Amino acid sequence: MTHGAALNSVTMLLRVGLLALSLIPGALTPDWTMFHDPLEKAFTIDVPQGWTVKGGLFRLGYSDYRPMVDLQSPDGQISIRLGDVSIPTYSVPNQFHPEEGSVLDLGAQIQMTVARYRSGREFAALYARARFSGTCQALVPQAVAAAPPVPDQPEEAAVKQSSGGQVAYSCDGGRTAYAYAKTALYPAFWQVHSLASFVAPSDQVPSARAIVEHCAKSFKLADGWIQYQKKLDQEALQYQKRRQQGRVHALSQQVAQFAMQMQAMRNQGVHDRKVRAVSEAGLPLFFFRHNMPKERGGGDGGGFNGSQGCGALGRAAGSATCNAAGLGVRALDEVHQERLRLRRQRCGPARPVLQRDLGTGRANTLALGQRGATRRRPRTD
């Protein structure tokens, strides 16, 4: 075979091979275009040309930012997701927040979910169940032999532990659902540093994995955004200081309000004891209330602080009672005796209720403490 014939044969084989590959959907390496984060200009990433691309960096707080990019093939058969806006930073349970699933609220800085640390494979399995629940009716676990398509990046010194893992499932028999996650544990919290997932027909899984690998390797944060985020982290520290100071001030106000309420309760207790003492001394309760200040529910406002502020009953009892500084200064029994003395001067000796009049056999209705009753005198005829 001449050199020219051999060259023609090789050319023919290449053409046949390319034609065969073109018959396999998604098997060819696509053309690439650069996608720019439309929200904060935080990153760029290569994406297949002609595919539907959505996403960006979503900010939920000073230190809470979540990148996500969704890719879908033109025929809709392959769906790829890098990152996920629904994945928060997780707080390790402690004595103050022991319950998994509760929210640790740090205000405008970040919202964290309380959860124990999960390895990369554990998290990937949990995430896949949630991610593909609306896409696949049934998920059957499959073995994964190939290496993860996402390159492993070195972690910073503050990370105590990190772990990567992948899972795959048969999705309704004809498709494959895949998820990869890498988690990193810090002293008090943990994060998902890498997250990729896709669902694709089983014969297009190699193409989907290749696209994920290329996208992950091309992902790059903008230098300007990195400096911007460092500034926001510093502002977050100042924000937390102001927030804690506000809490201390609010707590001081609550303590002061509580002290005022306790003092009011103690004052009310003293008032109740005085009322009981007046009642036990034989005085009607309105006598005490009438001579209280108006702000405490009294009659004409002066209390027992002088004749100008005495109520009607206080003035009737004499200036000695009016000039007394209060029931605590003048003994209750003295007030009672003064009242009885005045009544005797006006009405004569008191007799019990329903005491029989020996001259007429009629009842004398004047009773101790009654006012305005008419005293019947014995008949002499």
Per-residue pLDDT in tens (0 to 9) along the chain, 381 residues: 444 444 344 344 334 333 333 334 444 568 999 999 999 999 999 999 999 999 999 999 999 999 999 999 999 999 999 999 999 999 999 999 999 999 999 988 999 999 999 999 999 999 999 999 999 999 999 999 899 999 888 888 999 999 999 999 999 989 999 999 999 999 999 999 999 999 999 999 999 999 999 999 999 999 999 999 999 999 999 998 888 887 666 666 777 777 777 777 767 766 666 656 655 555 444 444 444 454 444 444 443 343 344 444 444 444 444 444 444 444 556 656 666 676 676 666 555 444 344 444 444 433 334 444 444 555 554
The reported pLDDT for the residue numbered 264 is: 76
Residues 6+ apart with CB under 8 A from 142: 168, 169, 170, 176
Its sign, for the CA torsion 216, 219, 225, 227, is: positive
Report the b/e string of 290-325 with b at 16+ CB within 10 A: bbbeeeeebbbbbbbbeeebbbebbeebbeebbebe
The pLDDT of residue 249 is: 65
Instruction: Give me the pLDDT at residue 273, please.
Output: 62
Task: Fill in the amino acid letter for 57.
Answer: L
For CA atoms 323, 325, 329, 331, the dihedral sign is positive
What's the confidence (pLDDT) of residue 208?
A: 96
Confidence at residue 333, expressed as pLDDT on a 0 to 100 scale: 60
The total number of residues written for the chain in this structure: 381
> With a threshold of 0.75, does the pTM exceed it?
no
**DSSP-assigned states of every residue in 191-252:** EEEEEEEEEEEGGGHHHHHHHHHHHHHH-EE-HHHHHHHHHHHHHHHHHHHHHHHHHHHHHH
Which pLDDT score, from 0 to 100, does residue 372 have? 43
pLDDT of residue 145: 87
Say which amino acid occupies 197. S
In this structure, what DSSP letter does residue 308 have? G
Strand duo 111-114 + 89-91: pairing: parallel
Q: Determine the pLDDT at residue 364.
A: 40
| Model pLDDT, residue 149 | 93
Local structure of residue 309 (DSSP, 8 states): G
